[in-house]
Structure 1
Amino acid sequence: MITVFDSIADDLAEHGYAIADQFLSQQEVNNILDLEEFKNGAESFKKAGIGKNKGLQINEAIRGDYIQWLDRSSAPRPAVVYLERLSDMIHFLNQALFLSLKDYEVHMTVYPPGSFYKRHLDQFKQDDHRKLSVICYLNNHWQEEHGGQLRMYLPDGTRDILPVAGRLVCFRSDQIEHEVLPATRERLSLTGWILDQHSELRHL
């Protein structure tokens, strides 16, 4: 895993984003997908909104996903495996890139077929503590024709990334605008942000 962290650190430093396949093994992905929460996610998760705290709004014309925040103290073991790996990556990036990352916040995410998230930046105007966005995909047997790509808007053009199982995408929250394109099938991920302050679990 250290070599994966090395590659992520190098690409973040050079490009502002990194893609790491098999960040979760196939078995680790399957263990998460077997959780009851994911089996009926669109029914039991909360509708995701735009903004934060008192400014939070539900707007399906902008985003259509459903989410459930993960609390590390009560998360099921298959999800804890991912959270612990994320903690290890934070420690590595702090040493390799001389960052001051301190914590993370992560939610399970379900995009029903046909839903999307329009172009946006992950860092709030009034809250700049999100430093890195991290998404780990959980979609087995995903094909190009299924759609659902993450489209990143980069200085030299756009780049589309398929949400295939086990793939981690990590990028600068303050710099890279992105969107989620509609898919023909349900699209699952663990989506989160690495922070320069300790998370207060304010979303639970």
Structure 2
Amino acid sequence: MNSQFNAIADGLAENGYAVIDNFLSPDEVTAIVTLDAFREGMAHFKKAGIGKDHGLQINEAIRGDYIQWLDKNTSPAPVLAYLDKLNQLVLFLNQSLFLSLKDYEVHLTVYPAGAYYKRHLDQFKKNDHRRLSVICYLNKDWTENEGGQLRMHLDKETLDTLPVAGRLVCFRSDQIEHEVLPATRERLSLTGWMLDQLADVRI
């Protein structure tokens, strides 16, 4: 795990992003995607919106995903194992990059086939506490022709990353604009943010 953490820290320091394979093992991915929350599909997920709190709006022309916020105290054991890794990563990045991160928030994410999220920044205009975006993909046997790439818009190029099971992408929430391209099949992930303040209580 330390080698993965070092690679994430190096990527963030040098480029503002890092892409790490096998952050979750195949068995860990299986344990998460077979949870009731995913098996029962979108019946228990909420339509994701744009903005925060009173400014939250549902706009399917911009994003088409469904989400379910995770509770660090009551989540199932396979999810808690992932959250524990995130907590260790927060501590490591604070020590190595002096980021003063204080907390994190994560939700399960489902993109139905054909859904997308247009180009955007993850940091809110009126709430700038998101420092790092962290996405771990849960899609087994994903192929390039199925689409669903995360496209990061960098200074001089774009970088497309396939949502392969176990792969972790971490990038600066305030600097890197990105989008999610449509896929031909359902696309699953654990999507979260590392914060410089304590996370809000989510319902």
Settle same-fold status: TM greater than 0.5.
Answer: yes
Residue identity matched to 2:94: N
In structure 2, how many angstroms separate the alpha carbons of the residues matched to 1:41 and 1:119?
Answer: 26
Give 1:156 shift: 1.5
Give 1:42 shift: 1.9
Aligned match of 1:105: 105
Tell me if the contact between 1:41 and 1:66 (Cα under 8 Å) persists in the aligned partners.
Answer: no
- Write the deviation string for residues 138-180 of structure 1: whole angstroms up to 9, x where unpaired: 0000000000000000001100000000000000000000000
Q: Matched residue of 2:50: which SS? A: coil
Q: Matched residue of 2:193: which SS? A: strand
Map 1:14-163 onto structure 2 (within 5 A): 14-163=14-163
In structure 2, how many angstroms separate the alpha carbons of the residues matched to 1:178 and 1:190?
Answer: 16
Aligned match of 1:178: 178
In structure 1, how many angstroms separate the alpha carbons of the residues matched to 2:161 and 2:39?
Answer: 24
In structure 1, how many angstroms separate the alpha carbons of the residues matched to 2:199 and 2:148?
Answer: 29
Aligned match of 1:168: 168
In structure 2, how many angstroms separate the alpha carbons of the residues matched to 1:155 and 1:181?
Answer: 20
In structure 1, how many angstroms separate the alpha carbons of the residues matched to 2:40 and 2:59?
Answer: 22
In structure 2, how many angstroms separate the alpha carbons of the residues matched to 1:55 and 1:46?
Answer: 16
How many pairs does the alignment contain?
203
Q: Matched residue of 2:106: which SS? A: strand
- Write the deviation string for residues 70-118 of structure 1: whole angstroms up to 9, x where unpaired: 0001100000000000000000000011110010000000000000000
In structure 2, how many angstroms separate the alpha carbons of the residues matched to 1:106 and 1:5?
Answer: 19
Q: Normalising to structure 2: TM-score of the pair? A: 0.99
Residue identity matched to 1:48: A
Tell me if the contact between 1:110 and 1:187 (Cα under 8 Å) persists in the aligned partners.
Answer: yes
Give 1:182 shift: 0.2
Q: Mind listing any 5+ residue stretches in structure 1 that lack a counterpart?
A: none
In structure 1, how many angstroms separate the alpha carbons of the residues matched to 2:157 and 2:61?
Answer: 25
Superposed CA RMSD: 0.6
In structure 2, how many angstroms separate the alpha carbons of the residues matched to 1:146 and 1:40?
Answer: 23
- Write the deviation string for residues 1-56 of structure 1: whole angstroms up to 9, x where unpaired: 00100010001000000011000000000000110101123222000000010110
Q: Normalising to structure 1: TM-score of the pair? A: 0.98
Report sequence identity in percent: 67
Q: Matched residue of 1:68: which SS? A: strand
